[in-house]
Amino acid sequence: MLKSLTALGLALSCLAVGPARAEDAASAGQAAHAMLTRLCDDFGGRLTGSAQNAAALEALAAELRGLGYAPQVDAFEFPGWRRGDDRVELLAPFPRRLRVAALAYSPATPAFEADVTDLGGLEPERALGGTAGKVGLLSPSTLLTARQIGQRAAELGLRAVLFINREAGGQLLARTGSFIGETLPVPVFSLTQEEGQSLQRLLARGRPVRVRCATTSAPVPVRTANLVLRLPGRSPERVIVGAHFDSWDLGQGALDNGLGVAQLYALARLLRGADLARTVELVWFNGEEQGLWGSRHAAAGLGDAPVVAMINLDMVGVPIAVNALGDADLEAALGRWHARRARPLPQGVQNVNWFGSDHTPYQLAGVRAVTFNAPIPRESVRYYHDRADTIDKLPEPIVVDSTRTIAEVLQALVEDAALTPRRRSAEATEKLFTTFGLEPRMRAIGYWPFAARVP
Ligand SMILES: [Zn+2]
C-alpha cells in the first residue's frame, strides 16, 4: 500500500517519500503542461475527424510510449461533421464579411442571397410572420436547444439562422447542432455579438438588411479512436478516468479539453510502477464535442466488467468540490476521503447529477461517476469554444494543483474496500436522471434512452 501511495506521488505531507518515488504531482503536472503546449502548438484544434486530431492523438500515444507504456487505440465510427468554408456577407446596408462559424451538423449550402429577419429568442409567445425565404437573426437569450432551433427554422421556412454569441468581444461559439448526428435542416451560424446586435438595431429601425450565405461545412461519416491505457492492479475491479481528447477547431482546445488531456497524462506519469489495489483505466475520448461519441463507444464496450466508478475530467480547473452525481455509496466514499484530507475543499462533497459530458454514457450504462466542481478563471474560460482557447490561457499551476486533487480522489477510489463494484438497474438509472430534472433537456436533444412513461 505504501508503495502505491508513494508511486501516486500525492505530495501529501504525511506520507513518507522514499527514494523509489517515481515522480510527484508537481513535476508530473509540469511535464503534462509542457506536453499540452507541444500538442496545442504543433496541431492546433483537435476537431474529431480532422487530420490534426489524428496526428495529435498519435503524438500523445508516442508520449505515452516514451513513458514505457503501450496504449491501445480503440477505433470507432460515428456520424460526424467536417468544417469547410463558412461565409456570411452583409450586402445591405453596406458590404462586409461577417465573422461566423457554422454549428456542427449544418448542411453544405450553395450561396444564396436573402433578407434578414429578427427572431428575438424564438420565444413561444412571439408572433413571427413573413419569415419564409429569409435568414433569421436569433438572440443568445433563446432557451431552445440547437436541434429545436433547426426544427423551428424549418417550420418558419427560413434558409439559415444567424445565432448571436452570448460572449462579447468579437467572439464566436463553436458548438454542436445535434447530439445524435442528425443533419440540421438549414445551416445555423454562430455570429459575433457586436455584429449581431448591430443587425438587430438596423432591423428595429426598419432598415433593410440583406446577406449572402454559403457553407461547404458538411456532415460526414468519421472514423476516429479513443486512446486507452490500462494499468493492471491486484484486483480486476476497475476505476476509469476519462477526459475528452477532441476539441473544437477554431482555437487550440487548451482549456476544453486540453486541460483534461494533460491531467490524464499527468496521472499516467504518476502511476508508473505503482502497485495498485485496483485496475486503473485511463481513456482519452474522441467525438465528445459533437455528441459524446467516444464515451458512448467506450461505455457500450464495458460488458459486465466490474467497474467501481468513472471519473470524468472535462475542464477541471480549480477544484472547490467533488461531485458524486447522485450516488449515495459514492458520496459516502468521497466523504471518507474528504474527512481524512488535511486541507478541505471549499465546498466539500456534492451529490448532484448533471448532463452533458462523458460521464453521462457511463451513468446510462449503470456505472457510478464522479466529476469535479472546479471553475476555470473567468479571464480564461470566456474564450471557451473560440479562437482564443489557446495554451496561453492555461497557467501551469492550474494543471499542477488540480492534478494533485484528482490523484487523491483516484487513490481513494482505488483503495476504498468499502466501495464495491456495482451497476444500477435501468429503473434506478432512469430515476437518477428524472430526480435531477434532466429528462426534458435530454428528450429535447433526442438523447433519452428510456421509454416514454405513461403519466
Ligand atoms: Zn469539453
User: In the predicted model, what is the mean pLDDT of residues 354-363?
Assistant: 97
Q: How far does the centroid of ligand 1 lie from the alpha carbon of residue 247, in Å?
A: 7
Residue 59 and residue 22 share a domain: yes
Whether 9 has a pLDDT exceeding 70, the answer reads: no
- Assess if residue 117 is contained within a domain: yes
Pick the last residue of a domain from 216, 243, 262. 216
Whether 4 has a pLDDT exceeding 50, the answer reads: no
Task: Phi first, then psi: give them for residue 10, nearest 5 degrees.
Answer: -80, -5
Given a contact cutoff of 8 angstroms between Cβ atoms, the answer to whether 124 and 171 are in contact is: no
Per the structure, the complete domain to which residue 125 belongs is given by 84-216
166 Ramachandran zone, left/alpha/beta (phi>0; psi -120 to 50)? alpha
Q: How far does the centroid of ligand 1 lie from the alpha carbon of residue 42, in Å?
A: 20
- Assess if residue 434 is contained within a domain: no
* pLDDT of amino acid 12: 38
Residue 254 and residue 164 share a domain: no
Residue 136 and residue 61 share a domain: no
pLDDT band of residue 17 (cuts 50, 70, 90) is very low
Tens of pLDDT along 37-94? 999 999 999 999 999 999 999 999 999 999 999 999 999 999 999 999 999 999 999 9
Cα(436)–Cα(455) distance, rounded to whole angstroms?
18
Q: How far does the centroid of ligand 1 lie from the alpha carbon of residue 258, in Å?
A: 9
- Assess if residue 265 is contained within a domain: yes
* pLDDT of amino acid 18: 35
Residue 34 and residue 167 share a domain: no
Residue 228 and residue 188 share a domain: no
Residue 328 and residue 242 share a domain: yes
Q: How far does the centroid of ligand 1 lie from the alpha carbon of residue 56, in Å?
A: 17
Q: How far does the centroid of ligand 1 lie from the alpha carbon of residue 408, in Å?
A: 22
Domain count, the chain: 2
Q: How far does the centroid of ligand 1 lie from the alpha carbon of residue 292, in Å?
A: 10
- Assess if residue 410 is contained within a domain: yes
Q: How far does the centroid of ligand 1 lie from the alpha carbon of residue 47, in Å?
A: 12
Computed over every residue of the chain, the mean pLDDT equals: 94
pLDDT band of residue 127 (cuts 50, 70, 90) is confident
Q: How far does the centroid of ligand 1 lie from the alpha carbon of residue 385, in Å?
A: 9
* Cα distances (angstroms) measured from residue 359 to each of 190, 298, 447: 27, 11, 14
| SS3 label, residue 171 | coil
Of 244 and 16, which is predicted with more confidence? Answer: 244
Q: How far does the centroid of ligand 1 lie from the alpha carbon of residue 410, in Å?
A: 20
Q: How far does the centroid of ligand 1 lie from the alpha carbon of residue 127, in Å?
A: 36
Residue 121 and residue 201 share a domain: yes
Pick the last residue of a domain from 155, 182, 216. 216
Whether 262 has a pLDDT exceeding 60, the answer reads: yes
Residue 370 and residue 280 share a domain: yes
Q: How far does the centroid of ligand 1 lie from the alpha carbon of residue 244, in Å?
A: 7
Q: How far does the centroid of ligand 1 lie from the alpha carbon of residue 230, in Å?
A: 23
Q: How far does the centroid of ligand 1 lie from the alpha carbon of residue 384, in Å?
A: 9
Q: How far does the centroid of ligand 1 lie from the alpha carbon of residue 453, in Å?
A: 31
* Cα distances (angstroms) measured from residue 1 to each of 133, 414, 445: 69, 11, 46
Q: How far does the centroid of ligand 1 lie from the alpha carbon of residue 256, in Å?
A: 5
Residue 411 and residue 298 share a domain: yes
Percent of the residues in the chain that have a pLDDT greater than 90, as a whole number: 92
CATH of the domain at 127: 3.50.30.30
Q: How far does the centroid of ligand 1 lie from the alpha carbon of residue 349, in Å?
A: 22
Percent of the residues in the chain that have a pLDDT greater than 70, as a whole number: 94
pLDDT band of residue 453 (cuts 50, 70, 90) is low
* pLDDT of amino acid 23: 79
Residue 246 and residue 149 share a domain: no
* pLDDT of amino acid 452: 67
The β-bridge partners of 211 are 90, 114
Q: How far does the centroid of ligand 1 lie from the alpha carbon of residue 311, in Å?
A: 14
Residue 226 and residue 100 share a domain: no
Residue of 363, 371, 366, 359 whose CA lies nearest to 422: 366
Residue of 235, 236, 230, 258 whose CA lies nearest to 52: 258
Q: Which residues are CB-neighbours of 87 under 8 A, at least 6 positions away? A: 97, 100, 111, 212, 213, 214, 215
Q: How far does the centroid of ligand 1 lie from the alpha carbon of residue 198, in Å?
A: 31
Residue 127 and residue 34 share a domain: no
Q: How far does the centroid of ligand 1 lie from the alpha carbon of residue 171, in Å?
A: 18
The β-bridge partners of 161 are 136, 188
Residue of 232, 187, 229, 234 whose CA lies nearest to 84: 187
- The DSSP element (H or E) to which 173 belongs, if any, is none
Q: What letter would DSSP give residue 186?
A: S
